[in-house]
Amino acid sequence: MNEKAHRKATQTAIWTADAHLEMDWAGKQAQSIIEQCAQTDCFNDLEFVDVAGPRDNPHARQPVKAPDKAHYQTDQKNHTAFNHFIDIKKGPGKFDDYDGYSYFRGSAHTDQYQDACELTGGWGRLAAFLTGFKVDEGIQYWLNDEYVHIPGRPWYCRCSPAVEQYSFPRDLGIYTTSNSEIIARFPLADDHGGNDQGIPYSVFFPVDNLARYWYGRFLKTPGRLDLLGPVLHAVQDAGIPHHAAGYNGNWHVEYENALDVFASKFDAARAGLKDVSAYVKKWNREDPVPPQAIKRRDRLRTPARNWSVAALVTWLAFQAYYEYTHTYRNFKNGFRLNTGSMQRLYTLAVAMSALVLIKARGETSRM
């Protein structure tokens, strides 16, 4: 979801939560949530290193002749956005219940339909000239000699805090420490890339881990309402079909641009606001048996405020992936906007954002 739609969704969610609980958050507090939600894509928390020759220290004060380059952005897009996907299409994950974005170890290398030269924004400038490539293919070709700088690798200096924050290795019990899991997720790269090397073989974190980390921080410092911004960002990104299927391409940019237009008109659509409120009223309950490990069949369950934040985010991703496969047929025939589908997912995302705010208020008021 783009910044414009994030702002509208979060503002509407705050209004809705306020109406249901009379939360009466001060204007500055509400604005801090909106700003942090909108700016989550701009976090400099994931460093890529572009290898040029033998690997060397990308932070050295006296660089070698062909220095490796450390950076947080490519084509004006922050790398942190790679942590805003959840690959429902692949099925159960290797590192989490469902893994995040990965090219060769996820779904992104299969069923690509959009040519890079057709891209209208986002990663366009780095991929468009690669005539004949699909979007995800072009991105990974460009990044094939880069790796994520992580703990346990030479010259690391806390330059990728996201990898430490979003790692929860105890969930599956395969890895005993975050460092061992992180090293398995993010292999090193050489100058020209290769099998099992670098970004194309990395497995980024799923978007529910983003929500889980920031919600945990909020519970520790409940006065910091701005910490709920990234949580709502994760919720709203989970409601985008491409984020739930694990694709940068297949008209992902075009879908989100269309959503900006739709979201700008949503407040005027009273029926839409009524639908948001109806969902919140239905979900604002205690589930006697909340899911411990949410499965795809749980798409048919009714969410509740005592579900974990990760489960709420993943439930919404199930809905978005259903639209990706059933409404848009994997986008194999291009992108033609389905307004009914977009309204359904946007309404669910706003309602889920409101539920998370209600959940947060309830859980902190009991402290």
Q: Residue 24 pLDDT more than 80?
A: no
Q: Is the dihedral of CA 6, 10, 12, 16 positive or negative?
A: positive
For residues 35 and 352, give the distance between their C-alpha atoms in angstroms, rounded to a whole number: 18
Q: Are 253 and 119 spatial neighbours (Cβ–Cβ below 8 Å)? A: yes
Of 47, 225, 232, the residue nearest 148 (C-alpha): 47
**Mean pLDDT, range 129-133, rounded to an integer:** 67
Question: What is the pLDDT of the chain when averaged over all its residues?
Answer: 92
Q: What is the pLDDT of residues 274-319, one digit of tens each?
A: 899 999 999 999 999 999 899 999 999 999 999 999 999 999 999 9
Q: What is the pLDDT of residues 331-352, one digit of tens each?
A: 999 999 999 999 999 999 999 9
- Domain boundaries of the chain, sorted by first residue: 3-42+207-365
Q: What is the pLDDT of residues 33-53, one digit of tens each?
A: 999 999 999 999 999 999 998
For residues 50 and 190, give the distance between their C-alpha atoms in angstroms, rounded to a whole number: 9
For residues 263 and 126, give the distance between their C-alpha atoms in angstroms, rounded to a whole number: 28
Say which residues have a Cβ less than 8 Å from residue 216's Cβ, sequence separation at least 6.
Answer: none
For residues 312 and 280, give the distance between their C-alpha atoms in angstroms, rounded to a whole number: 13
**Mean pLDDT, range 96-125, rounded to an integer:** 86
DSSP 271: H
Judged by average pLDDT, the poorest of 49-63, 212-226, 274-288 is: 49-63
Q: Is 160 exposed, middle or buried (CB count within 10 Å of its CB: 0-12, 13-18, 19+)?
A: buried
Tokens of 55: 């690997």
**Mean pLDDT, range 243-262, rounded to an integer:** 96
Of 255, 247, 237, the residue nearest 113 (C-alpha): 247
Q: Cα dist. 54→63, 190, 198, 234 in Å?
A: 13, 7, 14, 37
What per-residue confidence (pLDDT) applies to 266? 84
Phi, psi of 214 (to 5 degrees): -70, -30
What per-residue confidence (pLDDT) applies to 253? 93
Q: Is the dihedral of CA 304, 307, 308, 312 positive or negative?
A: negative
What per-residue confidence (pLDDT) applies to 29? 82
Residue 131: band (very low, low, confident or very high) from pLDDT cuts 50, 70, 90: low
Taking the model in full, what pTM does it have? 0.95
Residue keyed to tokens 């209600």: 358
Of 203, 309, 238, 252, the residue nearest 88 (C-alpha): 238
